Amino acid sequence: MTGTRLRVYDDTRALFHMPDGVIYLDGNSLGALPLGVAERVARVITAEWGDELIRAWNSAGWYEQPRRVGNRIAALIGAEQGSVMMGDTLSLKVYQALAAALDMTRRKVVLSDTGNFPTDLYMAEGLIATLGRGHRLRLVAPEEVEAALSEEIAVLYLTEVDYRTGRRHDMAALTAKARALGILTVWDLAHSAGALPVDLAGAGADFAAGCTYKFLNGGPGAPAFLYVAPWHAEVARPALSGWMGHAKPFAFDLGYRPAGGVERMRVGTPPVLAMAALEASLDIWDRVDLGEVRARSLRLGDLLIAEVERRCPSLKLVTPRAHAQRGSQVSFAFADGYAAMQALIARGVIGDFRSPDIMRFGITPLYVGEADMLRAAGIIEEVIAGEVWRRPEYQVVNAVT
């Protein structure tokens, strides 16, 4: 989609549905609903699925959708056109990336950090157990990653922005050092894509994966993406060799032959309806300057930090103050953080909680602004200073925190 450039928040706020009285600071977990989604998905259901039936795989471009949407995502993560494939979940995509990377080297050690998202670590553990050839996962503290790089390491496997603290790794510097040591890199961009400018091509990353339901506002269960650097595209081995990644899927050969390029990283049937919802959100992103998004995010984060620290000294900031080291969230540690967050949510300030004591507030400038930060800080003060969080109803732990 092309059109006039949108001013972040001034123009984009009206393009999202937001319930009255809500300050939504959880877009780093699930993005808000773009207003164009319902119409887009309804059109796919009625005009494409309804009228075209199975013909829509060709007539409506369903078959090409993972590649088409992948190219739109590529523009947001500094990737080359034709290097990004959509589909499946982030867990599957990081598994594919790590498996392909390990297949390219004789080294055995996967290096990650203790701030990595658990599913990434679980996937690594499962893959290593399956390989059973002496591979092992080594974890270090986030700030110790660079010093831990050595010629023993096979793959550097990191999430760029820590999901708990919002601490950001220096992708360019770590990738450059890894490459000099013969280490392949796999980056998880779950908290980067749509939050800050990413330059995969410039950094020389080998593989990357990310989800689209957070800052990209693709909706619950929105498909993930996988990046394969062009120099690996024809040799990367797809560990999950599904029929959609076959060179000729509709020849129905009994033996697997990978398709050319990143197309081989397709697995099963793409989620057409979910991807249609994502496309509606990308219509907004096509008209937004990520640099402006980033600048506003940092200003909003600075404002929230200053106001909360002034009003609530019992909350301890765990997010880096330095802009270069920060993603697009602000996190505070508080011993009774879960109950405090429930009290905030009941008052319309929606953030979330991460064990053991982290209160997270996502900064999503497309639909939150300075007034939201100030109002949120005032309500946080009310909850903390008034010890509202002590009420029994806020002690009940929900299935999703």
Indicate which residues carry an active-site annotation: 117, 188, 213-214, 360
**Residue 224 per-residue DSSP state:** P
- What are the C-alpha distances in Å from 221 to residues 164, 272, 397? 21, 12, 23
Q: Exposed/middle/buried for 311, CB within 10 Å: 0-12, 13-18, 19+?
A: middle
Could you give the residue ranges of the DSSP H alpha helices within 260-369? Answer: 272-285, 290-311, 337-346
Which residues touch 46 (CB under 8 Å, ≥6 apart)? none
Instruction: State which H helix or E strand residue 227 sits in.
Output: strand 225-228
Pairing of strands 184-188, 16-17: unpaired
Question: 3-class SS at 212?
Answer: coil
Phi–psi pair at 358, nearest 5 degrees: -100, 125
Contact 31, 217 (CB under 8 A): yes
Contact 303, 370 (CB under 8 A): yes
Quote the tokens at residue 200. Answer: 């995969």
Residue type for position 293: V
Quote the tokens at residue 230. Answer: 């062009």
User: How many angstroms from the chain centroid is the CA of residue 390?
Assistant: 33
